[in-house]
Amino acid sequence: MRTRYDLHTHSNYSDGVLAPGALVRLAGERGVGVLALTDHDTVAGLEEAGTMAREIGITFINGVEISVNWNNRVLHIVGLNVDPHDRRLLAGLQINIDQRYTRAEMMYRRFRKLGVSILEEVEGRVGKSAPTRTHFARALVEIGAVKDVKQAFKRYLGHGKPGYVSAAWTPLQDAVTWIRNAGGNAVLAHPHVYGFTRTRLRSVVQSFVEAGGEAIEVVTGNSTAAQTRDMVLLAEEYGLCGSVGSDFHTPENHWAMVGRCAALPASLEPVWGRWS
Ligand code: AMP
Ligand code: MN
Ligand code: MN
Ligand code: MN
């Protein structure tokens, strides 16, 4: 049987709901043989996850998902197999973490103006991590302002909506450089979710390759077979490897359950081929 890979997941060190150890246990139960934890802008959960992975006997990959700015748009770059103690990586991630706190302050002010008081509900949920929009979304559900997280993004938190505040994330080039200097591989995360035209997507991939990016996530939890085919073509055109990941946040989202991702199409070199 083929080894099941899931190289994109979140714990409660960012906007996931499970502690790293619980995430690893669940992944093991669901037949994942190689798992990466890729929290937003932090590597703080990796040690706990790695310890649990050794205990239950699955392979664990140190990862991170970095928010970056590219031509005034936000992209997510996953770093796989990074050294979590690398000084430059840690200093770089801190730039984004600081942005998260600054942006959250601005968002609290924005919501206060909208007559929605959620500071306590958000802060109560952040716990071990820096604030993300997901924490705001869950807080909005908690106070009954919206019926679910999806609606929270649609009404308040999505790009251009009343609660949306942009952040000065680190430039694409810098994030890729930190990942590579920390011994890792840079992966362009979930390319189909940005809503870009084909032309713009090619321009993103061009910049990503020039920055030193090595792989595209061609299979994610909610991508369709057609989207995967498109992304495989894109990867082939630019000579990039492929990666797979569920983008797991919570067991409530059955479409993005940990380990629930299709196999990487055989025509692409897997990013993990670079690790042996
Ligand atoms: P942030 O990095 O704080 O701006 O938050 C981005 C996170 O919000 C993503 O990683 C997703 O987990 C979540 N997110 C973004 N858009 C949506 C959406 N439409 N529905 C649900 N979650 C979303
Ligand atoms: Mn997230
Ligand atoms: Mn992402
Ligand atoms: Mn993610």
Ligand 1 pocket residue status of 14, Cβ below 6 Å? no
Relative to the CA of 135, which ligand 1 atom is closest? 3
Report CA(40)–ligand 2 centroid distance (Å).
7
List Cβ neighbours of 93 (8 Å cut-off, separation of 6 or more): 41, 42, 43, 64, 66, 178
Establish whether residue 153 lines the binding site of ligand 1, counting it when its CB lies within 6 angstroms of any ligand atom.
Answer: yes
For ligand 1, atom 4, the nearest C-alpha belongs to 133
- Beta carbons of 211 and 177 less than 8 angstroms apart: yes
Q: Is 205 left (phi over 0), alpha (psi -120 to 50) or beta?
A: alpha
Model-wide pTM > 0.85: yes
| Pair 31, 6: CB distance under 8 Å | no
pLDDT tens for the chain, residues 1 to 276: 789 999 999 999 999 999 999 999 999 999 999 999 999 999 999 999 999 999 999 999 999 999 999 999 999 999 999 999 999 999 999 999 999 999 999 999 999 999 999 999 999 999 888 999 999 999 999 999 999 999 999 999 999 999 999 999 999 999 999 999 999 999 999 999 999 999 999 999 999 999 999 999 999 988 899 999 999 999 999 999 999 999 999 999 988 999 998 999 999 999 999 997
Q: What spacing in Å lies between the alpha carbon of 59 and ligand 4's midpoint? A: 20
- Ligand 1 near 125 CB (within 6 A): no
Mutation probe of ligand 1 site: the residue of 68, 134, 164 with most atoms within 8 A of C-beta: 134
Query: What pLDDT is stored for residue 7 in this prediction?
Result: 98
Query: According to the model, what pLDDT value does residue 132 have?
Result: 98
254: exposed, middle or buried (Cβ count in 10 Å: 0-12, 13-18, 19+): exposed
Question: Residue 108 and residue 183: Cα distance in Å, rounded?
Answer: 38
CB 68 within 8 A of CB 170: yes
Q: What's the pLDDT at 53?
A: 98
